[in-house]
Amino acid sequence: MSLAHALFYGVELHFMGLVIAIDGPAGAGKSTIARRLAERLGFTYIDSGAMYRAVALWALQREIDASDVHRVTQLAEAAEITLGAQIHLNGEDVTELIRAADVAAAASRVAIIPGVRRALVEKQRALGQEGNVVMEGRDIGTVVFPAAQLKIFLDAAPHERVKRRVTETPGAHERTVAGQIADRDARDRSRNESPLTQAPDAVYLDSTRLSLAEVEEEILKLVRARMTNGKEFH
């Protein structure tokens, strides 16, 4: 188990094997918040969506359609994906490539395939097994780490999620982005295998009217509450 500590409200806290799971729809701010939180706590940040994007990119490069369940599953099983400041797929830096809109759309298609999910969930569990991780995605609190000590379901109104994506994507058009997000949300929520849903024990956080700093503060309050009410993280 890994041990991390953070100076937190003036108190030195020690964490052992803690998993913070952040799930929610596209554009809710999960990545930014998860990264900031990990930095603040001295944890490892794990972007599970980047793995689905990497598999989708590889399928696109090989011209394998997402409907070819067998071959896409083979890619997911064979893919060597490393996460960090840069994301590598089979040794190639794909950090920028996986952010393209066509890769995002393909990612939500390959994410429907049970074999792909099985392969990637296994990789995610291996990455998180040491603990002291902030992992974000769609099924982290429900499937990947159902025993995570803190689960957040981070949401925001659709118009706000579209606005945020448009702001962070140069040249993006609001109507196009709205369509892309609506399609992805529909696929992510309606698939049979591990659909996007709030875990019963997740804390629902609506970030529509909150700044990044406010969302971060809310989550840090939850971390502190869990640390001080007898549910210490070890």
What 178-186 contacts at long range (C-beta under 8 Å, 24+ apart), as own/partner pairs, is 180/101, 180/104, 180/105, 181/25, 181/26, 181/27, 182/158, 183/105, 183/108, 184/26, 184/104, 184/105, 184/108, 185/25, 185/26, 185/158
CA distance 65 to 72: 8
Measured from the CB atom, the residue of 132 and 194 that comes closer to ligand DC is 194
Name which position in 49, 128, 131, 141 contacts ligand DC (CB under 6 A): 49
111 binds ligand DC (CB under 6 A): yes
- 178-217 residues near ligand DC, rule: CB under 6 A: 184, 188
Q: With contact defined as beta carbons under 8 Å apart, do 76 and 109 qualify?
A: no
Question: What is the chain's Cα-based Rg?
Answer: 17
Question: What single-letter amino acid sits at 226?
Answer: R
Stretches 38-46, 47-55, 158-166, 226-234: which one binds ligand DC (CB under 6 A)? 47-55
Stretches 103-111, 148-156, 159-167, 208-216: which one binds ligand DC (CB under 6 A)? 103-111
- 53-82 residues near ligand DC, rule: CB under 6 A: 53
108 binds ligand DC (CB under 6 A): yes
CA distance 19 to 131: 6
Name which position in 41, 107, 156, 202 contacts ligand DC (CB under 6 A): 107
165 binds ligand DC (CB under 6 A): no
CA distance 28 to 182: 13
Provide, rounded to whole angstroms, the least separation between the CB of residue 215 and ligand DC. Answer: 16
155 binds ligand DC (CB under 6 A): no
- 117-146 residues near ligand DC, rule: CB under 6 A: 137-140
The residues that bridge with 38 in the sheet, in sequence order, are: none
Residues at the contact surface with ligand DC, assessed by CB under 6 A: 26, 48-49, 52-53, 104, 107-108, 111, 137-140, 184, 188
